[in-house]
Amino acid sequence: MLLLKRLIRSGVPVLALMAALLGAGSALAALGQPTPWQMGFQQSAAPTMDDITWFHNFVLWIIIAITVFVLALLLIVIVKFNANANPTPSRTTHNTLLEVAWTVIPVVILVVIAVPSFRILFTQLNIPPADLTIKATGNQWNWTYTYPDDKIEFTSIMLNDADRAKMNPVPPRLLGVDNPVVVPINKVVRVQVIGSDVIHAFAVPSFGVKMDAIPGRLNETWFKATREGVYYGQCSELCGKDHAFMPIEVRVVNEQAYAAWLADAKKKFALDNGAPATAVAAKQ
């Protein structure tokens, strides 16, 4: 606050300062993970998240316009219709045109918002033909991932600080895991989500993905990663005392790297068809 006052006194325009702060916040948004002083969404790495970001910005401008309009009306009322400026108030009780306007205009605004909203919802829920299927099972408190077509399964557990320190580069605290999900770039990944004990939620912000993991119910979502990198998410449902310690790590790689990882994963995480899935996960 003191810094802001000094900047104002020095002649720095407030609006320019706010624009600079907003721009800096957007610039600080890293790929695939949250960053200090970040404002806004994480950088998008999937078409669905591109749509969500666009819709957010679109609605934000509508909100700003409505806020400015209401503020202007309030200022007009304060200045023009106070007791000193208008000692004899009008006794008008109805204005047909005004009443029609304040009914029709909000309806039009809601329709303008609803049309792209429904389109984005349809895109999120209408899963295209998948190149890869992954089943994510939420446990207290980790994730078990199954690649049913490749018959592999592994459990992904958050790294502690000692294990993180041994890695290069060091993954972010509370987000790095021992066995990340690996997917190829520019491929449609269908994610089947379920809970093994309580309700969890599978969420990766950069992909625009968030789906509840409910015991006894198989939900589905999808994403198509368009940029290579490491992307982090977390369980987004209050699932117990270690809710904050069951992160999600997704590595997006090229097809050659994915083929190499898959060959190694088939040796390490081969699914034993004769054992229950939870038992196989516990062995890893």
Residue ranges per structural domain of the chain: 45-86+96-126, 132-283
Please give the full DSSP string across 74-140, using - where no structure is assigned.
HHHHHHHSSTTT-SS-------HHHHHHHHHHHHHHHHHHHHHHHHHHHHHHSPPPPSEEEEEEEET
Q: How far apart are CA 112 and CA 109, in angstroms?
A: 5
Residue 82 is predicted with a pLDDT of: 86
The answer on pLDDT for 76 being more than 90 is yes
Instruction: Say yes or no: do domains 45-86+96-126 and 132-283 share a fold.
Output: no
φ/ψ of 182, rounded to 5, equals -120, 130
Give mean pLDDT, residues 109-136.
Answer: 95
The answer for residues whose C-beta is within 8 angstroms of residue 257's C-beta and 6 or more apart is none
Residue closest to 230 by CA, chosen among 6, 33, 90, 79: 33
Class of 132-283 per CATH? mainly beta
Structural contact between residues 186 and 226, judged by C-beta atoms closer than 8 angstroms: yes
Burial of 67 (0-12, 13-18, 19+ CB in 10 A): exposed
At residue 211's C-alpha, the angle toward residues 140 and 145, to 5°, is 50
- Return the number of other C-beta atoms located less than 10 Å from residue 277's C-beta: 15
Residue 273 is predicted with a pLDDT of: 63
The answer on pLDDT for 35 being more than 90 is no
Residue 131 is predicted with a pLDDT of: 95
**If pLDDT is split at 50, 70 and 90, which confidence band does 87 have?**
confident
The pTM (predicted TM-score) of the whole model is 0.79
Mean per-residue pLDDT of the chain: 86
Q: Could you read off the pLDDT of 153-163 as tens digits, one per residue? A: 999 999 999 99
Give mean pLDDT, residues 214-225.
Answer: 96
The three-class DSSP label of residue 62 is helix
**If pLDDT is split at 50, 70 and 90, which confidence band does 30 have?**
low
The architecture (CATH level 2) of 45-86+96-126 comes to Orthogonal Bundle (1.10)
The answer on pLDDT for 49 being more than 60 is yes
